[in-house]
Amino acid sequence: MEKKTCLECKEPIHGRIDKKFCSDYCRNSYNNRVNKDSKNLIRNVNNRLRKNYKLLCELNSSGKTKVSRTKLLDGNFDFNFFTSIYTTKTGNTYYYIYNQGYLALENDYYLLIKKE
């Protein structure tokens, strides 16, 4: 019978025949290494969403506010990251980051709203 080795450290495995790792440490190390790229992408997107959300909350304390594009950009707002889009019957497109939304107005102004 062939002796199985750990996928991470290559040490011999003792115990169940379907075991792939010699310890929890090796299992965690292996999975962290394999999933590193996808986890970094998710982490970076979530961090960007969190920063955008925080800025919208700071600028929109009343629930409905009008701000300029430069004010959003000064706070490092990234218009490429949002969680949902809502288009009204009249054709207005609201972009949401969780419950904080914005609508593009004329003259580089944005209406910030909070969905209750």
pLDDT for the residue 34 = 85
* pTM exceeding 0.75: no
In-domain check, residue 30: no
In-domain check, residue 19: no
In-domain check, residue 103: yes
Nearest to 113 by CA among 96, 103, 101, 99: 101
Residues in the chain: 116
Helix axes of 24-34 and 36-59: crossing angle, nearest 10 degrees: 70
In-domain check, residue 6: no
In-domain check, residue 42: yes
pLDDT for the residue 1 = 55
Domain count, the chain: 1
96: which residues sit within 8 A by CB, 6+ positions away? 82, 83, 84, 85, 86, 115
In-domain check, residue 64: yes
- Which residue range is the domain that position 93 belongs to? 37-114
pLDDT for the residue 37 = 76
pLDDT for the residue 100 = 94
Give start and end residues of each alpha helix (H) in 1-116.
24-34, 36-59, 69-74
pLDDT for the residue 3 = 79
CA angle, residues 111, 53, 35, in degrees to nearest 5 = 140
Q: H-helix or E-strand containing 97?
A: strand 93-97
pLDDT for the residue 115 = 86
In-domain check, residue 14: no
User: pLDDT of 38-49, one tens digit each?
Assistant: 788 888 999 999
Q: Two tokens at 14?
A: 């003792």
Low-confidence ranges of the chain (pLDDT < 50): none
